[in-house]
């Protein structure tokens, strides 16, 4: 009652208002739990990435390669000197930043998808072989994996770039080379425990061939692990791709990529902060969303490797 008296109109005490507060609080809690339970925000960010990647030519307001020299280094639209034509401003030769970022999504997502598929395929096959056959096969494959993982990746990337030049193919191979060891390790651990299961023994007894056992009986069970590995690596792969492009090792010049856009923006920092800032923000959001999504998927599909929170 004291509280009600202290409010000037006393309206806060009315039944309807109190009910409203309760309903609102319950609703807010519901929303909060929903956001904790389902990766809504990461899903939205990744969804935007996919949409941008697929529909880039149709949704970007300008041609990402079209330079308009009279519109060099136009600031973002909301600043005093900005122009509504260029929402995120233009770069040093007057190309629209937003269009380049949207097309950059296409490049990043495409390269990531191909590299991850290649890396996961190779990693899964080797991991199954190592886990299923054990002994020398296992020892050999794991030694190769450990040795490869112990090499400083960025240096290997630089050497490969120097020898083979700068191209998409080289970049995809580099990123695939980065991703396969993780898949081998996890798939191997899974296959190691699967091969002693009864159903595998039964298949063997009834005369199933080794490829049949591997692909019909082992593969379906390691599928979850592969999916989790791939999703956990998404963010890292995008980050490495951006880093390589930043160092002029990744995607070749005129093609828009977030890493190389940031790199170029570095030289115009004094007059045009927006050139370097927005591509970097795009990388940050996508990598963060990828990490969250990967964690969520891991908890969902593979509770045994769940982290303690």
Partner 1 sequence: MRTFVLRRLFYAFLTVVGGTLLLFILSRMAGDPRVLYMDDYSKPDPEVWERLGEKFHLDKPVPVQYAYWVWDITRGEFGESIAATRPVEDVIYSRLWNSIQLGAVAWALGTLVGVPLGMLSAVKRGQPIDYLGRALALTGQSLPSFWVAIMAILVFAEILGWLPSATKGEGFAVRNFVMPAVVLGWLPAASYLRLTRSSMLEVLDSEYVKFARSKGVGMTTVLWKHTFRNALLTPLTFSALLLLGFVTGTTVVEVVFAWPGLGRLAVESVWGNDFPVLSAIMLMMVVLYAVVVLALDLLYALVDPRIRYS
Q: Is 222 or 287 the residue whose CB approaches partner 1 more closely?
A: 287
Query: Nearest approach, Cβ of 300 to partner 1 (angstroms)?
Result: 19
When asked if residue 284 is in the footprint of partner 1 (CB under 8 A), the reply is: yes
Q: What is the DSSP letter of 249?
A: S
Interface pick for partner 1 out of 69, 80, 163, 205 (rule CB under 8 A):
163
When asked if residue 36 is in the footprint of partner 1 (CB under 8 A), the reply is: no
Dist. CA 192–CA 182, nearest whole Å:
16
When asked if residue 73 is in the footprint of partner 1 (CB under 8 A), the reply is: no
Beta carbons within 10 angstroms of residue 249's beta carbon: 21
DSSP states of 8-66 as a string?
A: SS-GGGSHHHHHHHHHHHHHHHHHHHHHHHS-HHHHHHHHHHHHHHHHHHHH-SS-TT-
When asked if residue 268 is in the footprint of partner 1 (CB under 8 A), the reply is: no
Query: Nearest approach, Cβ of 218 to partner 1 (angstroms)?
Result: 26
When asked if residue 89 is in the footprint of partner 1 (CB under 8 A), the reply is: no
When asked if residue 248 is in the footprint of partner 1 (CB under 8 A), the reply is: yes
Angle, alpha carbons 227-230-236 (nearest 5°): 155
When asked if residue 152 is in the footprint of partner 1 (CB under 8 A), the reply is: yes
Interface pick for partner 1 out of 21, 201, 202, 269 (rule CB under 8 A):
269
When asked if residue 250 is in the footprint of partner 1 (CB under 8 A), the reply is: no
How many secondary structure helices (H) and strands (E) does the chain include? 12, 0
Residues 155, 190 contacting (CB under 8 angstroms): no
When asked if residue 11 is in the footprint of partner 1 (CB under 8 A), the reply is: no
Q: Which residues in the 124-143 window bind partner 1 by CB under 8 A?
A: 143
When asked if residue 90 is in the footprint of partner 1 (CB under 8 A), the reply is: no
Dist. CA 221–CA 194, nearest whole Å:
8
Q: Is 128 or 176 the residue whose CB approaches partner 1 more closely?
A: 176
When asked if residue 235 is in the footprint of partner 1 (CB under 8 A), the reply is: yes
When asked if residue 232 is in the footprint of partner 1 (CB under 8 A), the reply is: no
Q: Give the 3-state secondary structure percentages of the chain, helix then strand then coil, rounded to 5.
A: 75, 0, 25
When asked if residue 109 is in the footprint of partner 1 (CB under 8 A), the reply is: no
CA distances from 146 to 36, 44, 189, 235, 305 (A): 36, 36, 15, 22, 21
Dist. CA 187–CA 194, nearest whole Å:
10
When asked if residue 164 is in the footprint of partner 1 (CB under 8 A), the reply is: yes
When asked if residue 270 is in the footprint of partner 1 (CB under 8 A), the reply is: yes
- In the complex, which residues of this chain contact partner 1 (CB under 8 A)? 143, 146-148, 150-156, 158-164, 235, 239, 242-243, 246-249, 259, 262-263, 265-266, 269-270, 273, 276-277, 279-280, 283-284, 287-288, 291, 307-309
């Amino acid at each position: 009652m004291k509280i009600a008296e202290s409010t000037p109109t006393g309206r806060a005490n009315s039944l309807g208002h109190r009910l409203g507060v309760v309903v609102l609080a319950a609703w807010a809690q519901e929303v909060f739990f929903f956001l904790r339970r389902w990766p809504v925000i990461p899903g939205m960010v990744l969804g935007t990435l996919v949409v941008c990647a697929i529909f880039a030519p149709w949704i970007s307001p300008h041609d990402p390669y079209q330079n308009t020299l009279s519109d060099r280094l136009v600031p973002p639209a909301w600043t005093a000197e900005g122009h509504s034509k260029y929402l995120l401003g233009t770069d040093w030769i007057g190309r629209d930043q937003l269009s380049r970022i949207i097309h950059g999504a296409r490049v990043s997502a495409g390269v990531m998808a191909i590299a991850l598929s290649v890396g996961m395929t190779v990693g899964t096959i080797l991991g199954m072989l190592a886990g299923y056959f054990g002994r020398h096969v296992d020892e050999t494959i794991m030694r190769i994996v450990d040795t490869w993982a112990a090499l400083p990746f960025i240096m290997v990337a630089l050497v490969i770039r120097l020898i083979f030049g700068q191209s998409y193919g080289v970049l995809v191979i580099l990123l695939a080379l980065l991703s396969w060891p993780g898949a081998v390790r996890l798939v191997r651990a899974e296959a190691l425990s699967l091969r002693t299961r009864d159903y595998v023994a039964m298949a063997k007894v009834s005369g199933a061939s080794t490829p049949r056992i591997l692909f019909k009986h082992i593969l379906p069970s390691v599928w979850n692990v592969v999916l989790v590995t791939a999703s956990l690596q998404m963010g890292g792969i995008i980050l490495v791709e951006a880093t390589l492009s930043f160092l002029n090792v990744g995607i070749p010049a005129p093609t828009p990529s977030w890493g190389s856009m940031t790199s170029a923006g570095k030289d115009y920092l004094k007059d045009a902060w927006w050139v370097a800032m927005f591509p970097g923000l795009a990388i940050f959001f996508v990598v963060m969303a990828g990490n969250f999504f990967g964690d969520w998927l891991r908890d969902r599909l593979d509770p045994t490797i769940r982290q303690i929170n």
